[in-house]
Structure 1
Amino acid sequence: MKLSLGMILALCLAGLQFVAVTVVVFSSFLTSEKVLLEHARQLLSDVGTNTIEHSKGFLTPAKGAAELATRLAENQVIASDNFQQLEKLLFQQLQISPQFAGLFYGDEAGNFVYVMRSGGPGPFRTKIIRQDETGRQTDLIWRDNTYAAVEYRRDPEDSFDPRSRLWYQTASEKLTSIWTDPYIFFTSQTPGITAASPVFDDEGALQGVVGVDIGIDSISEFLSRLNIGDNGKALILNRNGDVIAHPNQDLISTANADGTFRFVNIGEIGDPVAQAAFGDLSGDADISVEREIYSRFSHGGSTYVSTLMPVISEALPWTIAVYAPEADFTGEIKANRTQNVWIAASIAVCTAVLGLALANFIHKPVRAFAVRSSLVSQGEISASDPLPKTYRELERANETLVQAIAERKRSEAEFGRTFDLASRGMAQVEEGTGRLMRVNNKFAQMLGYEASEVLGMTVHEISHPDDAVAGFFFEDGSHNRSEYLHEKRLLRKDGSVIWVSENVIVIRDDAGNSRHAVMTVDDITERKAAESKIQRLNRELSHSSRVNVMGQMATSLAHELNQPLLAITQNMDSALYQLKQNASDPEELKTILEETDRHAHRAGDIIRALRGFVKKDGVEKAEFDFAELMEQTLHLVGSEAKDHGISIRTRTQGLDPVYGSRVQIAQVLLNLLRNAIEAINDSDAAQRVVSIEADSADGGLTVRITDTGPGFDPSSNLFEQFETTKEDGMGLGLSICRSIIEAHGGKLWYQQDGRGRSQFCFTVPALVPKVAKEKRNEFSV
């Protein structure tokens, strides 16, 4: 028995409903646990994110502490020997900053002044350590809010030395403001961090370190108030695995053998669940992770879920760790699983009934078509009678399709006319072979051919052999792009070469398979020639600038060379005298000759540095040692600086090799040094110092040249061509320097250092491996 279309449609809909509900019911048994665990993971992630945002709020007082330490380091009271005045200054700063735990200053002699908050007998306590010829003296003073002394005590057993503390050693080593890793404060035995800044005397020598203590115990209090399920907890780990915050603050610190305290490591914390979740991190040098890590683990017969968040920030290298029992999230929902199954079955029955009604509704117009066909075949109605509604819809769809085909043919005709009459060269290219299937007159004229002569040639035949060709035109099928845009050279019929800008668009079918490509070219030969002229002019201008600088330095170089030549003459006179007198002391004669050799080499170094700087064709990039280049450059400006009473200080340590034009980088360095010397010489600055600092970084080398001159007007455009602050200046030096550095992929800028001194900075890229010659059958923009 044949079933009607309506019955088949109804059965199919009902069957699909039954299968769908069955799949949903059975998949719920398999996926509910995964969904619940994902819910738990999201909750733990939200807790970690909330803790991160709360911890980021800690940056505000921490930044304020660093700024306060820097301001204090610039205060003359800090560098004085008046401990009472220094104590009062620290006391006032602590009163107006309630988020700070204490302020202190320690110097190179071991003297120490510390003002901190206290629980009694006064709200503030001062510790003063004096070191002099008579010995060591430690005084403890408690004061009230008015600075009145409440109690005084002397501690002869105290052995604290600020120079042995990490904050002092780090600040004195880096000579800049620093933040320490979290640690347990020596006096209050509470967790915190320290912001410290070095203090210098008038000569620029380190005199001591001033610092600010900030307590972080409030973060543990915040963690204790978090609700993570019924039994979950969150803790914060430092990058070395130390637990710096925990809901139970008693678990995060432990005593050392010398009576000091330290943070416990995650592998030894008294929280067994936290140790089971994250204890395997204790052996890593850096526990920070790049992305959130979610895991499940078992402990004590129970299953737990945990999340380890990425590090908060570079300023706060802390990691949030969260764990909770799995039963806190899944227990109650699992109890409702059976009830949900019955609800799903009821929904299946209802949807099946609705599916039957829908099937009958959909089948009704089809049944009308069948009845009408039967009546027409029996001659009971005419075929010209009005069609049912659905027939008219099908007719409109057919008319729309016919219109779309006609519109496509009109578009193809319009494209053909546009292709032939375009003012730009155009060609249609076959996939794989690169054969020119169709070209317009403009394309043929560019190459000096007739249009019929170009057809059948390939893109490879008209391309310069040293230029890359788009991967679309090769048979290996390695291409996967839809557009190529690049500049290349094409060969004309007469053998000449033209530069073109080539844009290749790959035409693909609905399945994504490439059919052909449309290539559009513009002749840019004249533009390329103009660019080449500009480059030659730039090189000539740069060379002229170097020669001009060397002309200004001729007198200084003559003076610098005169010293080793005079020494050589005197030494040779002494040697001749020894020989004439038949001196029998060969060691003395050897010493004279060695001294002569040293001065001769020095004169040679000065001459080689000058020749290497003036050499015109020294633009080939290669690896070189920047420290050696800087030493040779100082030969060229040393005498000029010395004549003006200016000292040049350098700081370089373990510099990596750099990649670039050695001569051009020397020009930049020499120009900036001479500008600094002239700026100091034209001013009445008390300090006459030029500092050169070079540091290696991931991207290359950073060089900073600082002088004690008067600086520049903020409104002046230092790097604009023909802009100058000198009466006899051309305004080209800094502009050329910036062009050289940017051509090397670096950056040149002007700023003021922490003391308001003028500072020019530039970067030089690191040494890079030589790039292998690219394959000619693949082009990349």
Structure 2
Amino acid sequence: MKKTLGAPLFLGLAGLQLLAVLAIVFSSYITSEGVLMFHARNLLRNVGLNTMEHSRGFLKPAHDAAELAVRLAQNRIVASDDPDRLEQLLFQQLQLTTQASGMYFGAADGSFVFVMRDPGTELFRTKFITYDDSGNRETRLIWRTEDFNPVREVKDPTDTYDPRNRSWFTGASETGGMTWADPYIFFSSRQPGITLAAPVFSEADSVGGVIGVDIEIDEISDFLMRLKIGRSGRAVIINRNGDVIAGQAPDLLKTTAADGSLRFVKIDEFGDPIARQAFAPLFAGGTGDVTEEVTTTFTHDGRRFVALAMPILSEALPWTIGVYAPEDDFIAEIKQNRLINIWIAVAVAAVTGGIGLALANSIHRPVRAFAVRSALINQGEVDPDEPAPRTYRELEAVNDALMTQIAARRRAEREYGLTFEMSSRGMAQIEPGTGRFIRVNNRLCDITGYDAGQLTSKTLSELVLPSDRNALPRDEAMAESDFSTNQELRLRRADGVVIWVRLNAIMIRDGSGAALHAVMTLEDVTLAHEKESEIVELNREMTLLARDNTMGQLAAGLAHELNQPLAVIAQNAGTALYMLQKQPGVAPELVEAMFEVEGQALRAGEIINALRGLIHNDGSASAPFALGPLLDQVQRLVQHEAGEAGVRLIAQDAAGIEVRAHRVQIAQVLVNLLTNAIEAFAQADPATLPLPNDRQVRITLAGGAGQLTLGVVDNGPGVGQGVQLFTQFETTKPDGLGLGLSICRSIVRANGGKLWHEPVPDGGAAFYLTLPLAEAAGTDGDDAETTKESPE
């Protein structure tokens, strides 16, 4: 999208003003916000520390009272086996320790003394469990005033309480020191509490009993309720097992268990959703040991909160203190102040923007005039040589460069246009997305027979014959392909005539890689194809002449083979005639017949001798020659037949190889072998042959011991069972004479080599012949046959 210079100037001037003011506003906000959040975290930390110290101070008197009672009992100042004196000690300690709701002593023999504040009254209640010498158990309950005066006493024979089975007794006995039980809900008072237990050792260093102190910890929740954390912050205390044991909403701490008893709620089921979101992840596994301060920020119902989790009080009291508060409690005023400053910045930017607009218009006026003139020059309405209006010095340099580029572009376009129109080849520009011709020259119109208007409504694939379209990319996929091609195709002209053309094409892309158009050149090569067909036909005729020559050689062999039997026939006929003449009474017809036999045999011999004279060898001797050119010539001679049969000829590279032989004779042998292989493909059932693209005849080369082994191997139907290939008049062709291979073997032998056949395991036939290498001249032919052995 094109943009004008005026808008950036205006936006730049006004925007810089706005950004400068906003930068000041936001930097002030971020700095002050960071400071306030730092103080907020310190406030939360102080709340946590105060809560921690208050909890320790609340529990310390109970701890000291239990420790004092243990020492008194340990030092026998108060005998632990004297229930009355022990009751007085526990009564006094309970009066001094207001945090404790009850103190008790359980002995190792099962006796028990329990002094507690009676719920709902101002009295104290003592429970005695004692055993006499006979082991009889007695349970007594005594209510006393705060002056230790008894009010009422009853016995409870149904009581089965045994302190030795309680967790506080076993825990203190096993650890040998003071232990704090996990907080729980006291059954009598239904208030949250905790138990402190300490062992009392006997003179034998064994546990003689355990002193316990029950402490109601609802006072800690009362303390938290009196704390002010921002405007709406909250604090909770969470036990290591995830129980919420104190908080600013005491009614949310308790819930009913499955057995009907009361228990603490877990943090993940706490009724305060904000506290649940802030601290439940710390106790995801059911337990949580917070060893260091954890500060988090989170969003709940669209409001931002900051939370702090303090480490546990001690190993004995594994409690975590959690405090949270909304961020707005600390930075709401600064956010409001920031909004006011932003509106002030916008107003300042608007005022300065109006001034900047006028300034931008003044600056932009010469630039706008320059842009208008450049557009008119580009459209050809203004001569670029006309004097330019006065403008900035920088734009004058740009104007000079622009005029130079415009002149260069016009020159390039003119040269390209002349080249395009006057090219001796057909040229066209093709649209990438559709394959449609955009621009064509006259030569392309001459080649195709269409005028320019008709061609621009067609695509390239519409002109190409359907069988040749696979060589081109699809019209819709042309933009994604390189479309770089150089190949020959067949086109159908407007008059219906099919012509051969050579197509060259390349895709033109812009700097970003997007396809602009394809440039195509087209050359009519129909005449060249016709000449090539004539050459192929001439090669075929040469092949026929060569075959005639081969047949002459075959006839010579036939004459040689027939001379001897004809001579025997003539001799035997003469002998029989002589014997018949000596015998009387022989029929004249028989004698006449024998005369006829003898005459015809002599006449046949004369005909054969005349034939031998016609095709007699020219007597030229063998000589060294390069094998490579010979193989090329042989392939060309049979290329036409191979193409008609769909057979590919593959020859091993024979560069630098020379053999000593009669060149023409070896050529006749190779032509015969190749022709036999190609005709075997043509005469066989196509269903038994490889696909046309896989049919091949290979010429192989192998050297060794002064010899070259040359093979003609095909993957055709092969040689049938029982066929004697090198026997005269034995043939596999319906119209064959059975003399070709026999004469070929004779020619190869005459040149110092051997010719034989080997079956191909995967199908086909292989014929091998050996020839002496040129550098091994003088080597006897029989010694050279070492590469492959003939099954003669």
Q: For this structure pair, what is the TM-score category when the shorter chain's length is used for normalisation?
A: 0.3 to 0.5
**TM-score, scaled to structure 1:** 0.38
**TM-score, scaled to structure 2:** 0.38
**Greater C-alpha Rg:** 2
